[in-house]
Structure formats: C-alpha cells, structure tokens
Structure 1
C-alpha cells in the first residue's frame, strides 16, 4: 500500500521513512515537511493512507482545518493522525472531522504499522487506552450541543485556570486584560494560553475560534 506522511520535524520524517520503508506491505511515496509540499506531492504521487502530524508550525493550518481540506482534496485517501498530544478532546475532534485513526508518537513501531494496516483496510484505529478515554469523555459530556464548547475545554484536561483564560480569550479579552482580571502576570497568562492551545491541538487564534464555533 502507498502511504505519505506529513511532519514538520525532519528527524521524525527520516525515522518514519526508514522504518516504514522496511515493511514489505508498505511503500512510502512521499515525506513532507509542510502542508503545501504535501498537497503538491500527493497530486503527483497519490497515497492510500496519509500519516499526519496534528500539531504543526504556527504558519500552518490547525489540525482540524487541515484534515477537512485534505479530505476535500483527496477523498479516497484515509488519514491516520500521529501526534505527541492525544488528549481525549483532540482525538475526538480529529475523528469528528474525518480522520480514520489516531496514534501517539510514543507507541511502538509495530503498533504504528498495525494502525496503518487497519486504516488502509477501512477500519477506525485507536489504541485501547485512547478509545476508553474518548468514550469516557463523550459519555460524560452529555448531549447538550449548546454546552459543546465547554465540554471540549473540560475533556481536553485543561486546568481550571487554563479554562478561565480560554473562555475570556474567546470573549475578545486581550492577554493583558485577562492578566488584570485574575491578578496574574502577563507571562503566566500567556503560558496558560499556550498550554491550552497544545492540549486542544490548535496552533493559532484562528484555529481556536474555528473549533469553538463549529462546536457551538
């Protein structure tokens, strides 16, 4: 089967190409460092499965928007997310917008190959622990779509203070205004915002607003 991979870390890309290229059932047709390179490359060398890093550089689209764009451009390619950040909310968002599986970067290479084969065969792949977390977060979140945004903040394991920062930020408050409101330093608020972004799988302000608006 033909696979392509997108990761903005060269060492990770080279390692994946080396290991996956040794698998008899897999042909790596492209390894890309940016979404632009990926789209250009996959147009010329289509892939059956795309191994996609969910959190790229700030100049890139957020993971949710990128998955949507790739699905529209390459509808027959199945997307498997490979990420160091696999909180329940991040995994749920990726699956909701079209990913066919999600695997952490800390997993063994044998598990990655297993995930690729499963996704290529049409199955949805999650590790047992990851599946449990997603189901638990979903069932505990209820069916109130009006509270979906708040549920995502909670399910992403944001601390109370990180949730406060994101909620205020979504109302249009600046970092300085939030710092003044909670009597914290600007540096502390910026750090809490950055941590919350990582847990939510977004890399930009637009990414955050897009996700929360889609969830109501």
Structure 2
C-alpha cells in the first residue's frame, strides 16, 4: 500500500466525502428517475449530456481522461489542469470545500462520476486499457468492480451513463502510486443557462473486488459502495 492519504479518491470522484465514511457501506441511496442519454429531451429545458463519441473543441472523452487523470487521483488540494479549470473551454466538477463552481455561459462541464487506476493496492485485476472487452468486463463483472449504475443528475433530470461513457487510457505514472492505467465513467454536460444549477453524481459498485480492497486500505465495505455527491454550478 502506498503512502497516499486519500485512497478513495483513486476511483471515486467524491474523494473527500467518501474518505470520511470508510466504514459505511452506503453513503446515499440512488433515487431513480427518468433515464436517457445524449441529446436533451424537450421536457429537460435543453439540458443534457453530449453523446459519448462527441469531441467538443476537438477533445474526446479519452483525451479529457488523459488530461485529468493525475489530478483526479489526488485529494484535489492543488489546481486542476488548465484545460478544465473553467478559464477556457471546460470546467471539470470535482470535490472541493464547497462543491460550488462559478462558470461563464457556453462553458462545457466535464463530469467524471467514478474512476479506477492501476496503482497499488489495485481493485481486483486491472485490465489492459487497450483491450475494450477486458475493460468492460472489469467494470461490469460482479467478480471485479460490478458497476450497477453511473448517473449524472442535472436539475432533477437523470442521465444514465452506459458502457459508451466508460473510457480507459494509458497515462504517465500517476502520483498515487505510479500506475499507468486509468479508467473512468464520465460525460460532458452541455452549457447551461444563466442561473444556479444542481448537478449530482451517483454510482453503485458492488463487485467482489471491493471488500478485499477496502480491507487493504483500512476500510470496510462488505457490500461494495453506493454514493451520491451534489455540486452547485452558478452560470454567470
């Protein structure tokens, strides 16, 4: 085990909050709603997530994952990468002291829901990131992560991220232990209208690989982990 002080941050976006609940099986149960993907429906007021293969400003989900991996496996005390710090094209949502972000109109939001990487202690058997079948098996198999759902909720509207939103990439050695494999379930949220918006990320991971990993980091999660974290986004 490495000296990294916040191991939950290695695979969950909500590193700080989850780290406070290492012995809690469920942080917050997911409350289901309408689930849909891609283009916004008329009843959502125009909000939505981009299709998984979209490349806003030329950036794919894979490229965004590469750009943010080193930051996302930390405790978020340092500055995020310039690409996603809200000063130009994207604002990434990540846990802070307030979970509040102020952005300008026409800003795309990059929203990772959960992540895993190959730094020790590894959760289960981390896959070859170049083997798509192995990546999806790792994410969804009950013998590994056993992902049940990964959801982004925007102002009460749920967007369920399926396998198309799972990306795995090779990266330079990560600061949480030197791993070079990184995967995440993430999406890009369309620019929001002026005003205050609430965005929530939720996931449930209940695979067999979770309990022994929790023990390895000094935690306890015999049934896996279910969590939900809210962010406030003020569009100016």
In the superposition, the TM-score normalised over structure 2's length comes to 0.25
Structure 1 or 2, whichever has the larger Rg, is 1
Q: Which has the higher contact order (CA 8 A, sep 6+)?
A: 2
In the superposition, the TM-score normalised over structure 1's length comes to 0.26
> Which structure is higher in strand share?
2
